[in-house]
Amino acid sequence: MAKREPKAPKFQRNRNPLTWLMRHAQNAVAALGRLTRNPMSTLMTAAVIGIAIALPSGLHLLIDNVRTLSGSWEGASSISLFLDQKLSDQQAEKIRHTISLRNDVAEATLITKEKALDEFRRLSGFGNALDLLDRNPLPAVVLVVPGAAYSSAEATGRLARQLEGYREIELAQVDLQWVRRLDAITSTLERGVAVLAALLCAAVLLIVGNTIRLEIQNRHSEIEIVKLVGGTDAFIRRPFLYEGIWYGLIGAVIAISLVLIALYLMQGPVERLAGLYESDFDLTLLTSGTFLAILVGSPLLGLAGAWLAVGRHLKKIVPE
């Protein structure tokens, strides 16, 4: 060519962090404004998200609480030794001492006949009936905790059989099996809830994605014109991403409310149940962490869903 073009000037990009922050704040507020202009449809979308999140969260809380409850027994795979009725307290104490000296036993605790009766009277509700008996029907019990090296199911079983060989001991009962079973059940449930949670998270992603897709379609001509006058992809994307975040956040609030309501409804029965198990078990104890996870996770899901929709559909809008 006849003449060389002069060097092209660089495009000016706005890199002022304050402007950037302002833009994001404006976008966030504007997106919320758009959502509140259609309160019913916004609420309905958010409610679907809320229910989808509340379901696995609630189940998770429940299982987690059962875990804590069973966890307090877990380590103590103990053996209850029911002693011969005829033994006196001194004799009972002697056999306890003998057993506690075994090197496969970590701990042996004696529950005397009187103590057993007291406990039974207090917890079972049969106090009046017991008064009718002229004699304490309960045997003394020695609670044995096996040594750390002997706490497997097999070793505990072997220990129990050996202890049963003592003349003073009527019956050795391993209190392990059902703890194990409960543990296995909660593990299974937990896995099930994890699968459910994954599915419902995917559902939230799709719900937000679909809502944003419709929104993009509605604002097709606006997007086209913004592209024509030099709007960057980030500029076009931003309002939709904030809408996704808001949907997630509103959904999170709804989810937490639902879980709280469910907990409130369950509080009474659970307290009674916990009382029967001699536990000051409190359903709400573990909730704050879960709620924080919902408050952070749900908006992130909304953002991801919006991002999916925006990524797929904005590219297709090309000004002509």
Partner 1 sequence: MIRFDNVAKRYATGREGLSGVDLTLEAGEMAFLTGHSGAGKSTLLKLIGLLERATRGQVWVNSRNLNKLKDRDVPFHRREVGMIFQDHRLLHDRTVFDNVAMPLVVAGMGHAETKRRVRAALDKVSLLSKEKTMPVSLSGGEQQRVGIARALVSKPPVLLADEPTGNLDPELSREIMQLFLQFNQVGVTTLIATHDVDLVNSLGKRIIKLREGRVESDTGSLG
Assign 110 to helix, strand or coil: strand
Query: What is the smallest separation between the CB atom of 234 and partner 1, expressed in angstroms?
Result: 9
> Of residues 289-318, which lie at the interface with partner 1 (CB under 8 A)?
318
Stretch that binds partner 1, among 32-40, 69-77, 103-111, 230-238 (CB under 8 A): 230-238
Is there binding between residue 226 and partner 1 (CB under 8 A)?
yes
Spatial neighbors of 285 by CB under 8 A, at least 6 apart, are 65, 68
> Which tokens in the block code for residue 3?
């003449």
Assign 16 to helix, strand or coil: coil
Query: What is the smallest separation between the CB atom of 317 and partner 1, expressed in angstroms?
Result: 12
Query: What is the smallest separation between the CB atom of 70 and partner 1, expressed in angstroms?
Result: 56
Q: Please compute Rg for the chain using Cα positions.
A: 33
Query: What is the smallest separation between the CB atom of 22 and partner 1, expressed in angstroms?
Result: 9
Q: Which of 90, 167, 229, 269 binds partner 1 (CB under 8 A)?
A: 229
Helix (H) or strand (E) holding 44: helix 39-74
Is there binding between residue 101 and partner 1 (CB under 8 A)?
no
Place of tokens 């005397």: 112
> Of residues 8-47, which lie at the interface with partner 1 (CB under 8 A)?
8-9, 11-14, 19, 23
Query: What is the smallest separation between the CB atom of 313 and partner 1, expressed in angstroms?
Result: 17
Is there binding between residue 6 and partner 1 (CB under 8 A)?
yes
Is there binding between residue 232 and partner 1 (CB under 8 A)?
yes
DSSP state of 166: S
DSSP string, 231-293: --HHHHHHHHHHHHHHHHHHHHHHHHHHHHHHHHHHHHHHHHHHHHTT----GGGGHHHHHHH
Query: What is the smallest separation between the CB atom of 15 and partner 1, expressed in angstroms?
Result: 11
Q: Which of 38, 109, 152, 221 binds partner 1 (CB under 8 A)?
A: 221
Q: Which of 126, 178, 235, 264 binds partner 1 (CB under 8 A)?
A: 235
Q: Which is nearer to partner 1, 280 or 320 (CB)?
A: 320
Is there binding between residue 319 and partner 1 (CB under 8 A)?
yes
β-strand 79-83 against 169-174: which pairing, if any?
Answer: antiparallel
Query: What is the smallest separation between the CB atom of 8 and partner 1, expressed in angstroms?
Result: 4
DSSP string, 55-103: HHHHHHHHHHHHHHHHHHHHS---EEEEEPTT--HHHHHHHHHHHHHST
Contact residues: partner 1, CB under 8 A: 1, 5-9, 11-14, 19, 23, 221-222, 224-233, 235, 318-320
